[in-house]
Structure 1
């Protein structure tokens, strides 16, 4: 399969909405998202245009998609990265079931990490993985992330946890 990874543009808002709703409806992936399908489906076209144009507007976020050119340009997956100063926070990672295991996730992570490396102050990549998502955690470990020991409570199910994982991009300078 021939995949092209690129940043989402404002004119992509309808396709971005469709992919996000597919992710939220996917029983294996929905645990990874704090947003519900119902809330996302109820959002206005203006909301989706705004989400699609974050990077173009110079906001501290960018969404990348993997497009399957062999399948009529199907959007096979996505990942979003947020600039949080020393950390670039990866969120919203999703690959459609029929495209899993094809290398798309690696390509998306190369894109988000490349975006982060364009910012000289970003020292590390950060993400959270749900305790009930061992497949995603295994992938993150394989591409160099490790648990920090920190966690958040799942806002949809407070008895469950989202483990913090990190991958160093640059070493912090040492003085003295």
Structure 2
């Protein structure tokens, strides 16, 4: 477990679905949510408990998806990131994945914890988990072209633009930029 400014980064546990739900709903109310997430608050809040239980259980199992949380000494979660393992073939955006890779999604740090090192520790844990699979060649994420704050954080964490884009949800006039981190050999 990584220690971060009085927080511990660890995988989510299956029974923590209520906490996972609360943090996700908080993220979806963030001012950047419309360009940061593919999901809306209205859709997420309407999901039944069974949805959140299943989602958290899958993220805790850690085979094809793993969610990490930053937890303070008082038990409050300050941030999260999930890692999806993508096999070669078609990806979630309709493109083609050439090789096994990891995809970071659901990146969120509560505003009061931004700048404290939480995102660095979350990414360190997520990337380490991805690299624990010897067949994962790279880690990627997408960032909306207008989300410059997030892009600068991702660059600081070692990600670079790949040159690939997909149309942003809701408008083809905007793009989601793929950023990648290749495995060091």
**How high is the TM-score relative to the length of structure 1?**
0.91
Query: Do the aligned partners of 1:19 and 1:75 also contact (CA within 8 Å) in 2?
Result: yes
* Structure 2: distance between partners of 1:77 and 1:145: 19
Per-residue deviation, residues 36-76 of structure 1 (Å, max 9, x unmatched)? 0000001110110111111444540011000111xx21110
Q: Does 1:114 align with 2:128?
A: yes
2:75 match: 73
**How high is the TM-score relative to the length of structure 2?**
0.87
Per-residue deviation, residues 11-55 of structure 1 (Å, max 9, x unmatched)? 110110010010010103442100000000011101101111114
* Structure 1: distance between partners of 2:103 and 2:12: 17
Consecutive unaligned residues in structure 1, runs of 5 or more: 172-176
In 2 relative to 1, CA 58–94 (structure 1 residues): closer, same or farther, beyond 3 Å? closer
* Structure 2: distance between partners of 1:58 and 1:21: 22
2:16 match: 12
Off by >3 Å, runs of 4+ in structure 1: 55-59
Candidates 140, 143, 146, aligned match of 1:132: 146
2:93 match: none
* Structure 1: distance between partners of 2:141 and 2:127: 12
Residue 105 of structure 2 aligns to a residue whose secondary structure is strand
